[in-house]
Amino acid sequence: MPASVPQFVQRRSVEFHETDAAGLVHFTNLFRWMEGTELSFLQEREVPVLAVEAVKNSGWPRAAVHAQFLGPLRFGDTIETRLWVKKIGGSSLTYRFEIWRVKGRGAPNLAATGEITSVHVTRVKGKLRAAPLPASIRKKLK
């Protein structure tokens, strides 16, 4: 269970193009919203996304992703994507997300949950290899 106060919150409105023929949010948007919140979280902490310090050709590919709908989201709803850093490994990060409908039809409710595990990598001889997470980055993520 995440801490009661998220480490980062991003608020936005559900756009028309994010819904399906039934008028509900298409599941793929959960992943977009989680990734967008992760990116904003990293940018706010000045954590480079494509190049970490002196490590050239580095990045954060996904090792695992998961999302679960708990309630409907519709065009015009205001949502909050809440982020917690669940685990910091030797070269990986696991985030926990909650997506809340905070304004729209019905009372505010938890509409979805999810997790993303990213691995810090560098390119060695054309191949991606897991790379240790620098101490300076670890500090910014806590």
Q: How far apart, in whole angstroms, are the C-alpha atoms of residue 33 and residue 22? A: 20
Between the CA atoms of 97, 103, 107 and 112, what dihedral angle is there, to the nearest 10 degrees?
-20
Rg (CA), the chain: 16
Candidates 15, 20, 44, 53; catalytic one: 20
Determine whether 20 is an active site residue: yes
Active site residues per annotation: 20
